C-alpha cells in the first residue's frame, strides 16, 4: 500500500519536472529537469517492479541509471560547447593527456 503511495508521490514529482522542462527559461533548466526526471523514472521503475510482483525487472532501472548520465552529458555539451566531438578538457593532449 505504502509502495503505491510512494509511486504516486514520484509521479507527481515527475510531472513537476515536466512542467520545469516545458517552461524552464534557460536551457540548463531543461537539462536539469531531464536529468532529474531520469533519476525519478529509475526509482519509479524499481517501485513498479515491486508493486506488480516482478522485481526481476530492475534491469531496466539499472540500465536507465547509466543512460541518463550519457544523455545529460550530450545535452550539456551541445548547449555549452556547440560540438559533440570536442574533448572536455582545456589543455591540449600533448601537455595534459591524463585528464
Partner 1 sequence: MADALFWAGGGLAAAGALLALIGALGVLRFPDVYTRIHAASITDTGGATLMILGLCLISGLSLVTLKLVLVWVFIMLTSPAAANALANAAYSAGHTPWIGSFRIMQDNRKGGSR
Partner 2 sequence: MSAVLTHFNYVAVIVLMMGGLYILLSTGNLVRRMIGLAIFQTSTGLFYISLGKVSGGTAAITLDAVSAEGQALAARAGAEQVARYGVEGVIYSNPLPHVLILTAIVVGVATLAVGLAIAVRLREAYGTIETDEIQALDRVLTAAGQVEPAP
Partner 3 sequence: MTGYIPGFDANLALDAILLVMLVVIVAAIAATHRMLSAVILMGLYSLVSAVWLVVMDAADVAFTEAVVGAGVSTIVLLGAILLTRGAAAKVSGRRRFLPAVLALGVGAILIYATLDLPDFGDPASPANAYVGRAYLEATGNDMGIPNVVTAVLSSYRGFDTLGETVVIFAAAIGVAIMLGFGERAMADRTIEPLAGGPADHHVVLRVAAKLLIPIIALYAFYVQFHGDLGPGGGFQAGVILAVAVILHALVFGLKDTMAAVKPKFARGVAALGVLLYAGIGVTCIVNGGGFLDYDHLFPRHIEAQIPDWILGPADPAHPHHWGQHFGIMAIELGVLFTVAATMVTIFYGFAGRSMEAPQPGAPRSGAA
What residues make contact with partner 3 under the rule CB under 8 A?
A: 4, 7, 11, 14-15, 18, 21-22, 24, 27, 30-31, 33-34, 37-38, 41, 44-45, 48-49, 51-52, 54, 56-57, 59-60, 62-64, 66-71, 73-75, 77-79, 81-93, 99
**Run of H or E including 44:** helix 27-51
30 binds, among partner 3, partner 1, partner 2, none (CB under 5 to 8 A by kind): partner 3
Least Å distance between CB 72 and partner 1?
4
Q: Over the range 27-64, which residues count as b (16 or more CB within 10 Å of their CB) and which as e?
A: eeebbbbbbbbbebbbbbbbbbbeeeeeeeeeeebeeb
Amino acid at each position: 500500500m505504502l509502495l503505491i503511495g510512494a509511486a504516486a508521490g514520484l509521479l507527481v514529482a515527475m510531472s513537476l519536472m515536466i512542467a520545469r522542462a516545458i517552461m524552464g527559461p534557460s536551457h540548463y533548466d531543461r537539462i536539469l529537469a531531464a536529468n532529474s526526471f531520469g533519476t525519478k523514472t529509475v526509482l519509479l521503475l524499481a517501485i513498479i517492479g515491486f508493486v506488480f510482483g516482478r522485481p526481476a525487472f530492475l534491469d531496466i532501472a539499472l540500465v536507465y541509471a547509466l543512460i541518463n548520465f550519457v544523455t545529460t552529458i550530450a545535452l550539456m555539451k551541445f548547449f555549452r560547447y556547440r560540438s559533440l566531438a570536442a574533448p572536455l578538457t582545456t589543455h591540449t593532449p600533448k601537455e595534459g593527456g591524463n585528464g
